[in-house]
Amino acid sequence: MSMSILKRREHSPAPASGNPDAKDAFFRMEKINKFYQMGEEQAHILKDVDLSLDRGEYLSVLGPSGSGKSTLMNIIGCLDVANSGRYVLDGQVIEDLGEAELARIRSREIGFIFQNSQLLPRLTAQKNVELPLIYAGVPPRERRRRAREMLARVGLSDRMGHTPNQLSGGQQQRVAIARALVGNPTLLLADEPTGALDQKTGRQVMGLFRELNDEGRTIIMITHDMNIAKYARRVVHIIDGVLTEGGGTADA
């Protein structure tokens, strides 16, 4: 079974020549499969996942824990690669890449937003936002300018010199959003972005997401919470590693 999948992948034509859609697609996953070796047994985490996205879309992936949504997020975020299938992001085929190449794609294409904002406690808000630019080798002056700009965008102009423990949970998450945006990524990838926030703050963050999407940002949000998922314009469900289209949300 898995042999035939591998074989098919090896012989699949390049996107430019064979499949005209693949080249044009901004985001396209075809028959993505992921297995984990759990001792003797092989767990089939993602089963033939197909997913396509256009630029400017706002998608949420809704699924309970253990559904495979974290694994899917890792593959979308180029933290992990699929065992089989094809993944094209912004015209680049993500497969069989080494760690360094994956890191480069993460740096250029993806802005991560995690559940616990994951700020470095010793650094100021501004320095935290600068972090992705440091690894991209952006010169200090431009780095500072862009970080300030992004913090202003998320409404934290007056908190740039604060360290995370001097900020509220909502402010921390907004710093994290600024950090995700600062590299001007093509895709914002959020993993339970409101998971650690109270309802009111969570709503504010969702409002910010909607604004960003209105500005043309492409967003994929992974969540187990129906109430959060509905903020996206399009929802897909993942259960037991199988992805199904859930249609647009009520207020889309």
Partner 1 sequence: MLDSIRSTFIMLGECVKMSLANILGNRVRSFLTVLGILIGVAAVIALITTVNGFSGSLSNSFSAMGAGTLTVTVTGSDLKSGLSTDDLAEIAAMGIVDGVTPSVALNARVSRGGSYETGISVSGKNGYYFTRNPDLLSRGRAINFTDEDNMTQVCIISPDMVEQFFYGVDPIGENLYIGSIPFTVVGLMTEEGSGNISDMMSGSPDILIPYTTALKLNSANVVTSFTVYLAAGVDSETASDALEARLEAMFSYEEDCFEIMNMSSIEDTMQNMLNMVSALLAGIASIALIVGGIGIMNMMLTTVTERTTEIGLKKALGAIPWQIQAQFLIESFLLSIIGGALGILLGLTLSLVLSKVMGTSFVISTFAIVLGAGFSAAVGIIFGWAPARKASRLNPIDALRSA
DSSP characters for 58-87? EEEEE--TTSSHHHHHHHHTTSS--SEEEE
Is 14 a binder of partner 1 (CB under 8 A)? no
Q: Considering only 36-44, 57-65, 74-82, 146-154, which stretch makes contact with partner 1 by CB under 8 A? A: 74-82
Is 144 a binder of partner 1 (CB under 8 A)? no
Is 43 a binder of partner 1 (CB under 8 A)? no
Number of amino acids touching partner 1 (CB under 8 A): 29
**Minimal distance, residue 4 CB to partner 1, in Å:** 27
CA dihedral 79, 85, 89, 93 (to 10 degrees): 100
CB 131, CB 179: distance < 8 Å: yes
Report which secondary-structure segment, H or E, holds 22.
Answer: helix 20-24
DSSP 166: G
Residues 6+ apart with CB under 8 A from 153: 178, 181
Is 116 a binder of partner 1 (CB under 8 A)? yes
Whichever of 17 and 37 has its CB closer to partner 1, that residue is 37
Is 161 a binder of partner 1 (CB under 8 A)? no
Which residue ranges make up the site for partner 1 (CB under 8 A)? Answer: 74, 77, 79-80, 99-100, 103-104, 106-108, 112, 114, 116, 118, 120, 122-123, 131-132, 134-140, 179, 183
